[in-house]
Amino acid sequence: MSKSAGCCKRFLHYAFDYETPKTLVIPSLGVGFVFRFTQFLVVMYVVGYVCVVQKAYQDTDTVISTVTTKVKGFAFTNTSDTEPRFWDVADYIIPPQGDHSFFVLTNMVVTPKQVQSRCPEVSHCCYKTDPITRPRAKGIQTGLCENYSTTARTCEVLSWCPLEIDTKLPEHALLAAAENFTVLIKNSITYPKFNFHRRNILPHVNSSYLKRCEFSRLTDPHCPIFRLKDIVSEAGEDFQDMAVKGGILGILIDWSCDLDWWAGECLPKYSFRRLDNKHPVNNVAPGYNFRFAKYYKTADGEETRTLIKAYGIRFDVIVFGTAGRFSIVPTIVNLGAALSFLSLVPVVADWFLVTCSRKRDLYSRHKTTHLTEDADSASVRDFSPSLSLMNLISTD
Amino acid sequence: MSKSAGCCKRFLHYAFDYETPKTLVIPSLGVGFVFRFTQFLVVMYVVGYVCVVQKAYQDTDTVISTVTTKVKGFAFTNTSDTEPRFWDVADYIIPPQGDHSFFVLTNMVVTPKQVQSRCPEVSHCCYKTDPITRPRAKGIQTGLCENYSTTARTCEVLSWCPLEIDTKLPEHALLAAAENFTVLIKNSITYPKFNFHRRNILPHVNSSYLKRCEFSRLTDPHCPIFRLKDIVSEAGEDFQDMAVKGGILGILIDWSCDLDWWAGECLPKYSFRRLDNKHPVNNVAPGYNFRFAKYYKTADGEETRTLIKAYGIRFDVIVFGTAGRFSIVPTIVNLGAALSFLSLVPVVADWFLVTCSRKRDLYSRHKTTHLTEDADSASVRDFSPSLSLMNLISTD
Amino acid sequence: MSKSAGCCKRFLHYAFDYETPKTLVIPSLGVGFVFRFTQFLVVMYVVGYVCVVQKAYQDTDTVISTVTTKVKGFAFTNTSDTEPRFWDVADYIIPPQGDHSFFVLTNMVVTPKQVQSRCPEVSHCCYKTDPITRPRAKGIQTGLCENYSTTARTCEVLSWCPLEIDTKLPEHALLAAAENFTVLIKNSITYPKFNFHRRNILPHVNSSYLKRCEFSRLTDPHCPIFRLKDIVSEAGEDFQDMAVKGGILGILIDWSCDLDWWAGECLPKYSFRRLDNKHPVNNVAPGYNFRFAKYYKTADGEETRTLIKAYGIRFDVIVFGTAGRFSIVPTIVNLGAALSFLSLVPVVADWFLVTCSRKRDLYSRHKTTHLTEDADSASVRDFSPSLSLMNLISTD
C-alpha cells in the first residue's frame, strides 16, 4: 500500500468514521413515563402555544395605507345672535381635501369686520397707577388707557379690532345637526413585504348597496359609510356634549391579518375611541378648537377679516395592523428553540433516574463509569460494569 | 485528612468531575456519509438561506421620514364655458404647504356668485300631490313648489343659491396641461435605532444637476424631480383619463437598506401605484374630488362665495422601509436554532445505523446495552459486548 | 401469556424503555474547569446580555399616536416696505388646524393686487432677433416684446399681473418676533397590542402648572409648552438665521417604553433636529417656502388676488417608539438558543479532553471504543477497555 493511499485512508477514517454514544436501555416504566411525559409537554407547548396561539411560524409586516374621507350633510342655524344661515360641506369641513384627518365644525365664536387699528382691551382693567404693560395682552399695547365701557377702562392695544370675545361660546353647539352627517371612508392598504393590496370596500359588495348602506356593528359591519353620531356614541361619548367644546375622535381601522391560505379572509375591524382628555384635571385647553380668518377687501382697498374660533370634532382615521404569513426562518427558529428544550428532556429523565427511581444504584452503576484519579490503563473504579466483570473473573 | 478537607474534596469532585458520554466509533462509510451529508444540509441552510438570503443575523428598524413637495408649472384654460384664465401653483395646489400629500387640480365645476337665499332645486320635480320633503335634497326645503324652468317645477330650498349643477363636468380635463407640471420631492429619513440619517438628494449629486434633471428610471434614477405625466404612466394609467374624474396616486419610496458596512449604499427606490379603485363595480364615488369655496363680500357687506367642486389627482408620497444591521442577539438566536438542528443529525444517523446499515446487528450490539427488568448488579441482557465477552470467557 | 398481551408488552417496552447514554466520569480538575467555565460564559451571555441589556424576553409593539398643536403669540411688523401690521395666530399659522405638522410664517414676498392680464416679464430680456419663447417663463408668452422699464425690454406674458419679484426677500425675517411664540403640543399614544394608552400631559401634573410652565430640559422636562426659539436652539440652529429662508424642524417624541411592572414609568423623551439640508451643496431650493393666494373681488366683479410667497419654519412633530413587555414566545426562543450553545459546551470540553489534557490517552481509551472495519460479534480494536481487558485475560 502506497503512502498516499494510506494517508487518504486515514483521512477517510477521520472524516467518515461515525462516533455515536454508547447507550443503556433501561426497562423502567417510571423513568420511561417521566421521559415521555416531559417530551409530551414540550411538544404540546410548541404545537399548541407557539404554532396555534402565537403563530410564531409567521413572518410579519406592518401596514401601509391611504385614506380618503368624504362628509355629506347640511345644516341650518337660526339663533338669536346670528343671522339665519345654511351650512354645507364647503363651509364646515376644514381642510376640504378629505384626508385621513378631517374636522367638522360644530360651534364657533365669530368676530366679523376686524380691521388693523387701535381699540381698548377686553378684560384687563387699567388705572393711572398701573403698569401700562401687562402679560397675555391681545395686542401690542400703546401705553394708553381707554374707556372700554362706561364703567371700565382698559389698556389700548394695536391689533385686529374689534377684539374677539371668546368667553361668549354658545352653550348648545351651533351646528347640532352635524350629528346626522355621514362620512364615507375609503381606505386602501398594502403589505409591501407580501405584495398584498386590499380596500375596505370589499370585493363582494356591490355599488347599489354602497349607495344606501350605513355602518352598524351588527347589521352592516362592512359598510364604509358612518353616521357621525354613531361614531361618537360607539366611543362612549355624547355628540351634543362633545360638539360644544370640541374634541378628537379616533376612527381606528385594524387590518391585522393572517395571510396564509388556510386562514380565510382579511377584513378591516373598525373601532372608535376618544383621543383627547375631556377631564379638566391635569389638562390644559380641553376640547379642540383653532382660529382661522376669512380675508376681504372693502371697496376702498382696506383689508378686513372675519375671525372664526372654530370648535369641533377632529376625526382621525388611524390605520394599523400587522400581517403574518408562513415563512421558513421564524419557523426554523421556533422549532430550533423547541428542539433545544427537547434536548433538556433527557437531562430531566437522567436526574430522575439516578435520584428518584427505585433501582437507582443499579442504574447509575451501569450508566456511569468512574475513572479514579490515579487511573492507569486498566484501573477504573469499583462499580464500573467492566470492572465488576473483571472482579467476577478474578474470583473465578 | 480532616473532615472539612474531605467535604471540600467531595465538593470539588461534585463540581469539577467531568461526565462525558462513552462513544463508539464505527468505521462505516455509509453511516458516516449519511451523518456528514445531513450535517452539510443543515449548515448549508444556515449559511445560505438564513444568513445570505434572509439576513437573519440583523436587527431591524422601521423608517421615520419627512417629506416636502414643490410643484412647478402653469396652465392656461380657454374653453367655451369659462373665461380665459391663467393658472399657477397658488391656484391649483391645495393645500399649498407641500406636505407628503398634495393635490393637483385638473378639472372642476365652478358655481360662482352663490348667496344665502331661496331657490328651486335642480333635479327633484314636485307636483301638488307630492310629499313636499324629499331625501337627498340640496338644502332646507321650505315646503313650496317653484318653477325651475318653463317646463319643470321643483321644491324650493333654502341654501347657497344658485345651486351647483355638478353633472356638467367637462369631458376633457380643464387643466390638461397639468401633465407637464413637475414636482420636486425632498425626503429625509431616519432610522432612530441605528442613528442613521439620509436624504433622497444623494451626497454625490451637485446642485447644477438638480436644477435641470428629471426623474427617469433608466437615465436619471436618483433625480428627485418628477414629471406628473411620467409618474402616472409608470403607474400604468393615462394622465388625461385620470384627470377628468380624479384619483389618488401613490409615490412609494422604499428605503429598505442593509446598513452593514460591507453592504454598500443605502438608496431610495421609487415606485408608483394608483391607490384608488377606478373600476365602477363594487365602488362608490369613483375618482377623487372635494368641494371648497372662496368667500367674498359685496360692497354692501353681503357674503357671496364661489363654490368649486375640485377634481384632480392627489399624490401621496408614502415612505416605507426596514433597515437591518448586524446584531448579536438575532445572530445568536438563529445560530442557536441551527445548532439545535445539528443536534438532530446524530438522531438521523443513529436511526440509519440501527435500521438501514448492513452490519446493523453488530453496530447496535456494541452501541446499546439492554438492562433486563429483573437486573441485579451483573446481569445484563445477552447482546451487550461485555456480556458476549463474558460468554467468550465462560466457553473458554 | 396471550399473543395480544405479548404485543402490548412489546409496545410498552418500545414506548417506555428509556435509552440513556453511558457516561464516564473523569476526575480531572483541568477538564472540569474548562467545562464549567465555558458553561459559565454561555449563562453569563444569556443572563447578562440577552436578558438585561437587550431585553430579548419581551414582545414589542410600535406606537400609534395623535398630535394636536396650538401656537400662541403675536407680532407687529413695521418696515419701510410695508404698512405697519399686527399678526396673530390666524394670520401666520398655515394650515390653521393644529395638526402634527404646523407652519409658522416668518418671512414673505407679497405681491398684492394681481389680476389676470398681460404684462412684460421681469428678467428675460428680448430683442428683435431673439426667439420669442423662452423656457422658465412666468406665464404664457404672447410673442410680443414690451418695455419692462425705460432701459429693458422683456417678453410679454399672459399671467397674474403684476408678476412676483421674489428676489427681493427681506434680509432680516419680517416676523422675527416669532421666536417668542409658544406651542402647546398634546400627544396621545396607544400601543394596541398591549392595550396601553398614555398622554404627554402626565397624570401627576396639575392644570395650574400647565398654564404657566415652559419646557426646559433641566427644570421642566415634562411641560408640553415649548418656546419656538428654544426648540430651534436645541436643534443647534439659530432662529433668526433659519427664519429668513425657512426650514423644517423635527420635534421628535420618543415613547420607547418598558411596560413590565418592574420597569417603572413610561415617559416621553423630546428631542429636536433640523430635517432639511441647509447647506447649498448638493441641494436645490434650500429652506422652506410655498406660495398661496388670498382671492378678492373688486366692486365690479373682477377677481384679484394677493400672492404670498411664504417663508417660514415647518415644525413636524414625529412620534416614534417601541414598547416591550414580557412574553413567553421570545423568552422561549432566546432561552432555546442559549440552551443550544450550552449543548456545544461538552463538545468544547471533549475536544480539550482528548487533545490538551495530560492523560489524554487514558481518557480517550476509556471514553471511545473503536470498532474495526471487519469486526464480527466480538472483535473490537485494540485500545477499547473491554478488549484491553480481554488481552489481560489472554495473557493471564
Q: What is the pLDDT of residues B21-62, one digit of tens each?
A: 888 888 888 888 888 888 898 888 878 877 777 788 888 899
Q: Do A192 and B27 touch (CB under 8 A)?
A: no
Nearest to C366 among A336, A349, A369 (CB): A369
Report the pLDDT value the prediction gives residue B374, as an integer from 0 to 100: 55
A394 vs A133 pLDDT, higher one: A133
- Per-residue cell: B371: 438492562
Q: List the CATH number of the domain containing C48.
A: 1.10.287
Residues C241 and C140 in one domain: yes
Report the pLDDT value the prediction gives residue A148, as an integer from 0 to 100: 76
Is residue B36 domain-resident? Answer: yes
Question: In one letter, which amino acid is C129?
Answer: T
- Classify residue A49 by its DSSP letter: I
C107 vs B203 pLDDT, higher one: C107
Q: Which of A235-249, B291-305, B346-360 has the lowest mean pLDDT?
A: B346-360
Q: Counting every residue, how long is chain C? A: 396
Does residue C386 surpass a pLDDT of 90? no
Per-residue pLDDT tens digits for C123-148: 666 655 554 455 566 788 877 777 77
CA distance B250 to chain A (A): 9
The overall average pLDDT reported for chain C is 83
Report the pLDDT value the prediction gives residue A366, as an integer from 0 to 100: 80
Is residue C207 domain-resident? Answer: yes
- d(CA A329, CA B190) in angstroms, rounded, equals 27
Report the pLDDT value the prediction gives residue A228, as an integer from 0 to 100: 95
Of these ranges, A199-203, B231-235, B336-340, the one predicted with the greatest mean pLDDT is B231-235
Residue of A37, A40, A344, A371 to mutate, testing the C interface (most C Cβ within 10 Å of its Cβ): A371
Residues B282 and B352 in one domain: no
Q: Is C281 on the interface with B (CB under 8 A)?
A: yes
Which of B261, B271, B262 has its CA nearest to residue B226? B271
Q: Please, which residues bridge with residue B303 across strands?
A: B297
Does residue B318 surpass a pLDDT of 90? yes
- Per-residue cell: A20: 455515536
Report the pLDDT value the prediction gives residue A342, as an integer from 0 to 100: 83
- d(CA C181, CA C227) in angstroms, rounded, equals 6
Mean of pLDDT values over A108-137: 72
Residues C302 and C174 in one domain: yes
What burial class does residue B203 get, using C-beta atoms within 10 Å of its C-beta: 0-12 exposed, 13-18 middle, 19+ buried?
Answer: exposed
Tell me phi and psi for residue B120, to 5 degrees: -75, 145
Q: Is A58 on the interface with C (CB under 8 A)?
A: no
Does residue C379 surpass a pLDDT of 60? no
Residues A115 and A263 in one domain: yes
Report the pLDDT value the prediction gives residue C134, as an integer from 0 to 100: 52
Is residue A89 domain-resident? Answer: yes
Is residue B216 domain-resident? Answer: yes
Of these ranges, B141-145, B342-346, C291-295, the one predicted with the greatest mean pLDDT is C291-295
C46 vs B225 pLDDT, higher one: B225
- d(CA C136, CA C157) in angstroms, rounded, equals 12
Does residue A368 surpass a pLDDT of 50? yes
Q: Is A100 on the interface with C (CB under 8 A)?
A: no
Residues B288 and B142 in one domain: yes
Per-residue pLDDT tens digits for C54-100: 788 888 899 999 999 999 999 998 887 778 889 999 999 988 888 89
Say what percent of chain C tops pLDDT 90: 32
Residues B134 and B198 in one domain: yes
Q: Please, which residues bridge with residue A49 across strands?
A: none
B380 vs A289 pLDDT, higher one: A289
Is residue C213 domain-resident? Answer: yes
Is residue B394 domain-resident? Answer: no
- d(CA B203, CA B214) in angstroms, rounded, equals 17
Q: How many domains does chain C have?
A: 2
- Classify residue B323 by its DSSP letter: E
Of A292, A325, A358, the position where a domain reaches its end is A325
- d(CA A220, CA B315) in angstroms, rounded, equals 31
Mean of pLDDT values over B261-286: 84
Is residue B276 domain-resident? Answer: yes
CA distance A368 to chain C (A): 5
Does residue C316 surpass a pLDDT of 90? yes
Report the pLDDT value the prediction gives residue C208, as an integer from 0 to 100: 84
Strands, E assignment, chain A? 18-21, 23-26, 58-62, 64-72, 75-77, 85-87, 93-94, 101-125, 140-147, 153-161, 182-191, 196-199, 225-227, 247-254, 257-258, 269-274, 289-297, 303-320, 322-326, 368-370
Which positions of B make up the binding site for ATP?
70-72, 182, 289-291, 309
- Other CB atoms within a 10 A radius of the CB of residue C269 amount to 11
Does residue C292 surpass a pLDDT of 80? yes
Q: Please, which residues bridge with residue C247 across strands?
A: C313
Report the pLDDT value the prediction gives residue A384, as an integer from 0 to 100: 40
Q: Is C348 on the interface with B (CB under 8 A)?
A: no
The model's confidence at residue A279, banded by pLDDT at 50, 70 and 90, is confident
Between vectors from CA C249 to CA C245 and to CA C253, what angle results, nearest 5°? 175
Query: Looking at beta carbons, which residues of chain B come within 8 Å of C323?
Result: none
Per-residue pLDDT tens digits for B202-222: 888 888 888 889 999 999 998
Query: Looking at beta carbons, which residues of chain A come within 8 Å of B19?
Result: 368
Residue B37: which domain range? 23-57+327-366
Does residue A104 surpass a pLDDT of 80? yes
Q: Check whether A86 is labelled as a binding-site residue.
A: no
B376 vs C11 pLDDT, higher one: C11
Does residue A250 surpass a pLDDT of 90? yes
Nearest to C386 among B90, B95, B385 (CB): B385
Say what percent of chain A tops pLDDT 90: 32
Tell me phi and psi for residue B378, to 5 degrees: -120, -20
Question: In one letter, which amino acid is C354?
Answer: V
The overall average pLDDT reported for chain B is 83
Report the pLDDT value the prediction gives residue C82, as an integer from 0 to 100: 75
Does residue B308 surpass a pLDDT of 80? yes
Spatial CB neighbours of C212, under 8 Å, sequence gap ≥ 6 = none
Report the pLDDT value the prediction gives residue A379, as an integer from 0 to 100: 42
Report the pLDDT value the prediction gives residue A248, as an integer from 0 to 100: 93
The model's confidence at residue C376, banded by pLDDT at 50, 70 and 90, is very low
- Per-residue cell: B85: 384664465
Hey, which residues 159-188 in chain C have their CB within 8 Å of chain B? 159-160
The model's confidence at residue A392, banded by pLDDT at 50, 70 and 90, is very low
- d(CA A62, CA A53) in angstroms, rounded, equals 20
A304 vs A264 pLDDT, higher one: A304
The overall average pLDDT reported for chain A is 83
Hey, which residues 203-222 in chain C have their CB within 8 Å of chain A? 203-207, 210-211
- d(CA A280, CA A90) in angstroms, rounded, equals 33
- Per-residue cell: A211: 349607495
Tell me phi and psi for residue C73, to 5 degrees: 140, 160
Which of A287, A277, A271, A286 has its CA nearest to residue C199? A277
Which of A270, A146, A159 has its CA nearest to residue A215? A270
- d(CA A308, CA A107) in angstroms, rounded, equals 10
What is the greatest pairwise CA distance in chain B?
134
Residues B226 and B197 in one domain: yes
Strands C303-320 and C247-254: parallel
pTM of the model: 0.85
Report the pLDDT value the prediction gives residue A289, as an integer from 0 to 100: 92
Residues C42 and C67 in one domain: no
- d(CA C166, CA A347) in angstroms, rounded, equals 81
Which of A180, A301, A185 has its CA nearest to residue A251? A185
Hey, which residues 323-342 in chain A have their CB within 8 Å of chain B? 328-329, 332-337, 339-340
Say what percent of chain C tops pLDDT 70: 89
Of A266, A300, A325, the position where a domain reaches its end is A325
- d(CA A293, CA B302) in angstroms, rounded, equals 17
Q: List the CATH number of the domain containing A182.
A: 2.60.490.10
Residues B209 and B251 in one domain: yes
Report the pLDDT value the prediction gives residue C135, as an integer from 0 to 100: 52
Spatial CB neighbours of C362, under 8 Å, sequence gap ≥ 6 = A371, A375, A376, A377
Per-residue pLDDT tens digits for B143-186: 777 777 777 777 888 899 888 888 888 888 999 999 999 999 99
Cβ(B340)–Cβ(C342) under 8 Å?
Answer: no
Residues A295 and A335 in one domain: no
Mean of pLDDT values over C201-214: 86
Mean of pLDDT values over B104-109: 93
Does residue B395 surpass a pLDDT of 60? no
User: How is the beta sheet containing C58-62 ordered, strand by strand?
Assistant: C58-62, C322-326, C257-258
Report the pLDDT value the prediction gives residue A271, as an integer from 0 to 100: 94
Cβ(A249)–Cβ(A204) under 8 Å?
Answer: no
Q: Which of A187-201, A307-321, B359-373 has the lowest mean pLDDT?
A: B359-373
Query: Looking at beta carbons, which residues of chain C come within 8 Å of B322?
Result: none
Residues C196 and C341 in one domain: no
- d(CA B123, CA B144) in angstroms, rounded, equals 15
A338 vs B235 pLDDT, higher one: B235
Is residue B355 domain-resident? Answer: yes
Residue of C nearest to A26 (CA): C18
Spatial CB neighbours of A153, under 8 Å, sequence gap ≥ 6 = A120, A125, A126, A127, A145, A146, A147
Which positions of B make up the binding site?
70-72, 182, 289-291, 309
With b for 16 or more beta-carbon neighbours within 10 A and e for fewer, the C363-377 pattern comes to bbbbbbbbbeeebee
What number of C-beta contacts closer than 8 Å exist between B and C?
A: 216
C111 vs A371 pLDDT, higher one: C111
Nearest to C22 among B99, B337, B369 (CB): B369
Between vectors from CA C161 to CA C159 and to CA C164, what angle results, nearest 5°? 100
Mean of pLDDT values over C284-290: 87
Residue of B nearest to A364 (CA): B377
The model's confidence at residue B396, banded by pLDDT at 50, 70 and 90, is very low
Residues A135 and A42 in one domain: no
Say what percent of chain A tops pLDDT 70: 89
